[in-house]
Chains A and B, each alone.
Chain A
Amino acid sequence: GAGVSQTPSNKVTEKGKYVELRCDPISGHTALYWYRQSLGQGPEFLIYFQGTGAADDSGLPNDRFFAVRPEGSVSTLKIQRTERGDSAVYLCASSPLSVGELFFGEGSRLTVL
Chain B
Amino acid sequence: KNEVEQSPQNLTAQEGEFITINCSYSVGISALHWLQQHPGGGIVSLFMLSSGKKKHGRLIATINIQEKHSSLHITASHPRDSAVYICAASNTDKLIFGTGTRLQVFP
In the bound complex, how far is the Cα of B84 from the Cα of A113, in angstroms?
A: 28
Q: Closest residue to A107 on the B side, CB-wise?
A: B42
By a CB distance below 8 angstroms, the chain A residues around B88 are 42-43
- Whether A106 lies near B42 (C-beta < 8 A) is yes
- Any chain B CB within 8 A of the CB of A85? no
Residue contact B33 to A45, C-beta cutoff 8 Å: no
Q: Which residues of A contact B42 (CB under 8 A)?
A: 91, 104-107
Q: Report how many residues on chain B are interfacial, defined by Cβ distance under 8 Å.
A: 22
Do residues B43 and A42 form an inter-chain contact, with CB atoms below 8 A?
no
State whether B93 touches A104 (Cβ < 8 A).
no
Could you tell me the distance between the alpha carbons of A19 and B42 in the complex, rounded to whole angstroms?
21
- Knowing A42-B86, A107-B42 touch, does A102 contact B93 (C-beta < 8 A)? no
Which 9 A-B pairs rank lowest in CB-CB distance, beginning with the nearest? Answer: A42-B97, A104-B43, A106-B42, A42-B99, A45-B94, A48-B93, A99-B30, A56-B93, A43-B97
| 16 A-B interface contacts by CB (under 8 A) | A33-B95, A42-B97, A42-B100, A43-B43, A44-B97, A45-B97, A48-B94, A98-B93, A99-B30, A99-B31, A99-B93, A101-B48, A102-B95, A103-B45, A104-B44, A106-B41
